[in-house]
Amino acid sequence: MKFAILFTIWLFEKASIKNVFSQSYADVPPKLPIEVDVKIEAGQFPDPDDYISRKSEKMIEFGTERVIWILTDNRKIMVMDRSRE
């Protein structure tokens, strides 16, 4: 079974981005990332919830306030934030 993120939106505070036209990755955490439809290699993470949990934890450790996951297959919306650690 394979899974992949099909759509991602990352919202940043404009003042925190030094060069908004840069083609490299941001060096500041997004204020609010929205991930839609996760798809990953089953060998790495047998359960997609493990992947969602691990990625959310890493993003929150980096400084993101909240992560929103929208999963269309099972019609779920999951919100992870610091208060739910």
Q: What string of pLDDT tens digits covers the 85 residues of the chain?
A: 455 557 788 888 878 877 777 777 778 888 889 988 766 655 667 777 788 888 899 999 989 989 999 888 788 899 998 875 4
Residues of the domain holding 53: 7-12+29-84
Q: Are 68 and 78 in contact (CB under 8 A)?
A: yes
The verdict on residue 20 lying in a domain is no
Q: Rounded distance, CA 8 to CA 38, Å? A: 10
The verdict on residue 2 lying in a domain is no
The verdict on residue 33 lying in a domain is yes
The alpha carbon of residue 40 and the mean position of all alpha carbons in its chain are separated, in whole angstroms, by: 13
Residue 55 phi, psi dihedral angles, 5° rounding:
-65, -40
Q: How far is CA 51 from CA 5, 13, 24, 42, 72, in A?
A: 11, 26, 24, 10, 16
Continuous segment of H or E residues that includes residue 55: helix 48-62
How many domains does the structure of the chain reveal? 1
The verdict on residue 46 lying in a domain is yes
The verdict on residue 36 lying in a domain is yes
The verdict on residue 22 lying in a domain is no
